[in-house]
Amino acid sequence: MSGAIFRHTHRVVYADCTDGNHIYYARYLDLLEAARGELFRSLQVPFLKLQSAGMIFPVIECRLRYKSPARYDDLLSIELWLTKAQGVRMNFSYRVLNQRGTLLLEGETLHVGTDLEEKLKRLPKELIERLQPHLRENTSE
């Protein structure tokens, strides 16, 4: 199965960078979070709507592989897709590229659905259906 890749852009601002003029390594997690939020908005299910319905998606694991640094004023393309959306699990894969198409980062975040008291909760059927177009089994593309 080959699902659609969602793309979100981010212009690197000075506050993202270290004195060495590259994005501070932990800031990439903020960029991935912003891209995930935009994906959900594009699907008409923003996180606030889900939270109001008593559902959140804490990260239980993440992996980042740094390939090349992003610099101040670079225009980044954050690509993401789902590798799992079933039961209580929702997993995402990411690539971050600069304006020249250079691969800067590959990553994954693994999430579980919970209620507001952090008890496991199955993903709503409607949400799984909306996420299906972005589900990919083969993440090597």
Which residue is associated with the tokens 């909760």? Answer: 121
141 pLDDT band, cuts 50/70/90, is very low
The conformation of residue 137, written as its DSSP 8-state character, comes to S
94 in helix, strand or coil?
strand
Domains of the chain: residue spans and CATH = 6-133 (3.10.129.10)
Q: Are 35 and 94 spatial neighbours (Cβ–Cβ below 8 Å)? A: yes
Residue of higher predicted confidence among 69 and 139: 69
Q: Are 122 and 113 spatial neighbours (Cβ–Cβ below 8 Å)? A: yes
Q: What is the pLDDT of residue 1?
A: 44
80 in helix, strand or coil?
strand
pTM here is: 0.91
- Distance (Å, whole) CA 74 – CA 34: 17
